[in-house]
Structure 1
Amino acid sequence: MSKSAYHHGDLKATLLAAAADQVANDGVDSISLRALAQRVGVSHAAPAHHFGNRQGLFTELAIEGYGLLEQELHSAAGNFREMAVAYIRFMLQHPGHFDVMFRTDLLAADDERLIAAREGSGRELRTGVTELDNPVADSRATQLAAWSLVHGFAALWRAGALTQSELGAENPEELARYMVAAVDLR
């Protein structure tokens, strides 16, 4: 976007969208506030005005990502299998956010808005896990196992590890459905 292309609107949202796109395509190491400003066509001080620094930018991107994840998980309405697919769908639709959200080394971990956003998506994820509760197993262990299953799959897919694997498939949502079908819901 050239300087003449950006006129009015929500500059913060424009910067976040450009950052998410760049992270998705080029990785987190490709991001600098100066390059982001150039990409959007604004002064090099504009991103610093909105985010302070690179960590502030990534924290805002993670906050936005957790909100988007919460919405996606809410659409699954407490069904573990659908929630797992919703988690995968989120990763596919928002790869730049996904790549940043779980990288605590990039984020201001004590940011109250980040903590609240993370907790909100976590609550939604747990609603699907209640279906898996086993009276013999510890509920926290069940929650951790379920999150590890879907996040691990999403991370493997995002990293490209499943494309060359005999375990992989063309359609990640279909593969996720196949994977979670193996989970015993009795």
Structure 2
Amino acid sequence: MASATKATPGKPPGAYHHGSLRQALLQAAEGILERDGIQGLTLRAAAREAGVSHAAPKNHFGDLSGLLSDLAALGFERFRAGMLARLEAAPEPARRAAAIGQGYVEFARTHPGLFQLMFRGERLDMTRPALRTALFAAFAVLSGTVGGEAAAPGERSLTVAQLADIAAAWSLVHGFSMLMLDGRLKPLLAGLPPGSDEMTLLAAVLDRGR
């Protein structure tokens, strides 16, 4: 049977172990996603980017939806970590919701392709446990900070008022992120003082909502 890997510069044949090959494919896929967009990401493109055989991605992820879903799961894990880091830097209760918003938008600004993939439900397989776990864990950070209680979407433990608070906060930061990524904020950013950027505008928006 042919090997799943092939010789590449700096990577001799057979040098990838099972886990490291999977990680290499995910890293390659993310690079393509950020460089070429989701339209440029295929199983063959990921294999070519990683320097492995065309069969390798299918062996690890099954199909393109599997690759995209596992990549999105990694994105949600980083997304959650970024929001938690912002929370740790802002222990004052009055600043916690703003900290979550800053972490949310900062992730979108730093990883635009990955962020957009994470919210492309039609391209993802939501039955995959890793994706569901990562998504719900990230959502719990937002809901627990804004609504006062960690809960996965669809749970009935939150009041209508708490759900409304979560929806309002989520709509604000997600809408801001999408306007930013689509370039729709450029006219507003042009009116900011020198040295300001999207995060400056976001801070002002979040302060108005306090």
TM-score of the two chains, using structure 2 as the length reference: 0.77
Tell me the residue number matched to 1:63.
73
**Displacement after TM superposition at 1:167 (Å):** 5.3
Q: How many angstroms apart in 2 are the aligned matches of 1:144 and 1:46?
A: 41
1:36 partner amino acid: A
Contact kept, 8 Å, 2:80 with 2:137, in 1: the verdict is yes
Match of 1:148 in 2: 171
Alignment CA distance shift 1:115-1:137 (3 Å): closer
Q: Map of 1:85-100 to 2, 5 A cutoff?
A: 85-100=102-117
User: Aligned match of 1:138 in 161, 165, 185?
Assistant: 161
Task: Provide the residue aligned with 1:173 in structure 2.
Answer: 199
Once the two structures are aligned, what percentage of the paired residues are identical? 31
Query: Residue 47 of structure 2 corresponds to which residue in structure 1?
Result: 37
The residue that corresponds to 2:154 in the other structure is none
2:134 — aligned with what?
A: 117
8 Å contact 1:6–1:40 — kept in the other structure?
no
Paired with 1:182 and 1:101, the residues of 2 have a C-alpha distance of: 28
Structure 2: distance between partners of 1:12 and 1:21: 14
1:19 counterpart = 2:29: yes
| Aligned residue number for residue 183 of structure 1 | 209
Residue in 2 aligned with 1:160?
Answer: 183
Question: In the alignment, residue 176 of structure 2 is paired with which amino acid?
Answer: F
Check whether the contact 1:33–1:53 (CA below 8 A) recurs between aligned residues.
yes
Partners of 2:51 and 2:129 in 1: CA distance: 31
* Cα shift at 1:172: 1.9
Task: Return 5+ residue gaps in structure 2 as ranges.
Answer: 1-6, 88-92, 149-158
Are the structure 2 counterparts of residues 143 and 83 from structure 1 closer, same or farther at C-alpha, using a change threshold of 3 Å? same
Q: Distance in 1 between matches of 2:124 and 2:206?
A: 31
Using the alignment, how far apart are the partners of 1:38 and 1:93 within structure 2? 25
Structural mapping, 1:46-61, within 5 Å: 46-61=56-71
Instruction: Give the RMSD, CA atoms, in angstroms.
Output: 2.1
Structure 1 residue ranges without an equivalent (≥5) = none
* Aligned counterpart, 2:153: none
**Quick check: 1:3 aligned with 2:3?**
no
Assess, with a 3 A threshold, how the Cα gap between structure 1 residues 162 and 138 changes in structure 2: closer, same or farther. same
SS in 1 for 2:121: coil
Provide the C-alpha distance between the structure 2 equivalents of 1:176 and 1:5, rounded to a whole number of angstroms: 43
Larger Rg: 2
* 1:146-183 alpha-carbon deviations (Å, 9 max, x no partner): 011101111111122222x2356652222211111110
Instruction: Give the TM-score of the pair, scaled to structure 1.
Output: 0.86
Match of 1:106 among 123, 146, 150: 123
Separation in 2, partners of 1:32, 1:5: 24
- Please say which of residues 167-176 and 36-45 is displaced more in the overlay: 167-176
